[in-house]
Amino acid sequence: MNEGMGISVNKKEKPNIVLITTDTQRCDTLRCMGSPFAISPHLDRLASEGVLFTNAHTASPVCSPARSSLMTGLHAPIHGCIENGIDRKSGHLTFPDLLQEQGYVNIMVGKTHFGEHPASFDIVREIKGEKSAASVDDSYAKFINSYGLPRSSAGPRSMPDHLHMDAFLINATIEEIEACRQAENGPFFAFCSLLSPHSPLDPPGHWATLFDSTPLPPIDYKPGDVENLPLHTRRLLGFIGNEAELEASLNTPEALQAMEHKRRLYYGMTAFIDAQIGRLLEYLDQTGLRENTLILFTSDHGTQLFDHGFDDKHNYLDATWRIPFIMSMPGTLPCGKVCDFATWTDIAATILAAGGTYSRYVQGFDLFTPLIQGLDSPRRCAVGTLYKSAAVATQRWKLEYYFEEQTGMMYDRLNDPSERSNLYNDPQYDSVKQELLVALLTWRADLSDLQLMEESQQVGGPVAQRIKPYSLAKSGWEVERRLGAKAEAIDLLFEV
């Protein structure tokens, strides 16, 4: 398998590409991911007509770092956005840049939150700020204000579905694709970036009460969960010094009622999103675009939704780090196939391969080429970073390491899916911990900015000249492949 190179596609044969992302969507919002209570018929259908990744993970479990990794195909330590509020470095190629060189019309609709916009987006209909923003002047504000309604949202709204921000974004995406189709421009890449189910949870109309009578599994919380979070996590979440107070606040009848209400709104919100995505899929079907359009659906990260005692991200727990990920192109990709690992750095490589091009800088795998060849995903583990930490998840194990604290967390993913028993300091598991730690730290040390290396190695002495051909022969996915091989070996060495 040619892991590094995109397949050769003539311009006439190049597929259209539609990337649909949500914000803060857990895996248990999809019936196709095994959730018995989820309402997700359209995304379930997409999975049945495509490839479902059951062990997909975001590159960083927080918004801006993940979205910067999406655009560049680079891990956060390389693009520089290691947490929200920190800008990514300028100058890195993004995958729309390379698609434009292949003749693609690039369409951006919705939330960006990845820093500076690539100039290679031909059409941008951006949402500026979150759903709660009141004084923002964007296309949705103009639209909703024309109905005498405020842009700012704080909770459920008694409005028709089509007035909701996410419905507006689906409509805008359809409008821009249709304009491209009518003008016979293309192929096109359309990025539809929805803002829900990120708070505020504002499902319209009946969607706000859709789950009122649906039995939900109990919140996965035990006393002491907040106190047992890593110091790094508590620092990011602002919990240091008030852990006991937070724990106590979780156990009042009022708090339990509020948490249950929020959970039901959350799942109602994801069901509404599914219905909106269904409209986009129906449009692609009715216009005949679907047969030559690669569709990808995913989310930037999940959220705890009070599992382990808090409602936020900024952590490597499964509810946050693991994400939905579906690819579909019937007639080209297999239908109903289930794969294992994928990460958000793979998306850039995959889209570029579908578009007939390639970037050696990208630190992710092309998933498109192996899948059309009947093979599985080349990724063998998940790996990611968050602020001053890194984590790896294999089939069996998860290891988190916090650089400043020089300590970590380790879980047996098969026998402890709720991640209750931290094995990091358990002598019985010291051997597997050491193997995982060496693999993770080697991966982190091995990450390189290949674009910077190429651009800076223009002159130099004899050593620079000797190393230049070696550096220019490297590809970003190689460090991922080495880690994957080590992860598989660790799982075999310490299998049950």
Sign of torsion over alpha carbons 7, 12, 13, 17: positive
Is 197 a residue whose pLDDT tops 80?
yes
Kindly state the average pLDDT of the residues 193-200. 98
Structure tokens at 31: 């019936």
pLDDT, tens digit, 9 for 90 and up, residues 306-323: 999 999 999 999 999 999
Strand order in the sheet with 397-402: 382-385, 389-393, 397-402, 407-412
**Residue 350 to residue 100: CA distance in whole angstroms:** 16
Interhelix angle 41-48/253-286, rounded to 10 degrees, is 50
Domain ranges of the chain: 13-381
Kindly state the average pLDDT of the residues 22-27. 98
> Confidence class of residue 1 from pLDDT cuts 50, 70 and 90?
very low
Q: What is the pLDDT of residue 455?
A: 87
Is 76 a residue whose pLDDT tops 50?
yes
**Residue 457 to residue 467: CA distance in whole angstroms:** 9
Q: Does domain 13-381 have CATH number 3.40.720.10?
A: yes
Q: What is the pLDDT of residue 167?
A: 98
How would you label 37-58 residue by residue, b for 16+ Cβ within 10 Å and e otherwise? ebbbebbbebbebbbbbbbbbb
pLDDT, tens digit, 9 for 90 and up, residues 340-380: 999 999 999 999 999 999 999 999 999 999 999 999 999 99
Is 7 a residue whose pLDDT tops 60?
no
pLDDT, tens digit, 9 for 90 and up, residues 412-450: 999 999 999 999 999 999 999 999 999 999 999 999 999
Q: What is the pLDDT of residue 465?
A: 79
Q: Are 233 and 314 in contact (CB under 8 A)?
A: yes
Sign of torsion over alpha carbons 450, 451, 453, 457: positive
Q: What is the pLDDT of residue 84?
A: 96
Is 389 a residue whose pLDDT tops 90?
yes
- Using left for φ > 0, alpha for ψ between -120 and 50, and beta otherwise, residue 115 falls in left
Q: Is it true that the peptide bond before 230 is cis, omega within 30 degrees of 0?
A: no
The DSSP code sequence of 77-111 is: HHHS--STT-PPPSS---HHHHHHHTTPEEEEEE-
Q: Is it true that the peptide bond before 197 is cis, omega within 30 degrees of 0?
A: yes
Q: What is the pLDDT of residue 135?
A: 82
Is 5 a residue whose pLDDT tops 80?
no
Structure tokens at 440: 């993770």
Q: Are 38 and 267 in contact (CB under 8 A)?
A: yes
pTM exceeds 0.75: yes
Q: What is the pLDDT of residue 10?
A: 41
Strand partners, 22: 299
> Confidence class of residue 4 from pLDDT cuts 50, 70 and 90?
very low
Q: Are 59 and 75 in contact (CB under 8 A)?
A: yes
Kindly state the average pLDDT of the residues 49-77. 98
Q: Residue 407: helix, strand or coil by DSSP?
A: strand
pLDDT, tens digit, 9 for 90 and up, residues 462-496: 887 788 888 888 899 999 999 999 999 999 998 75
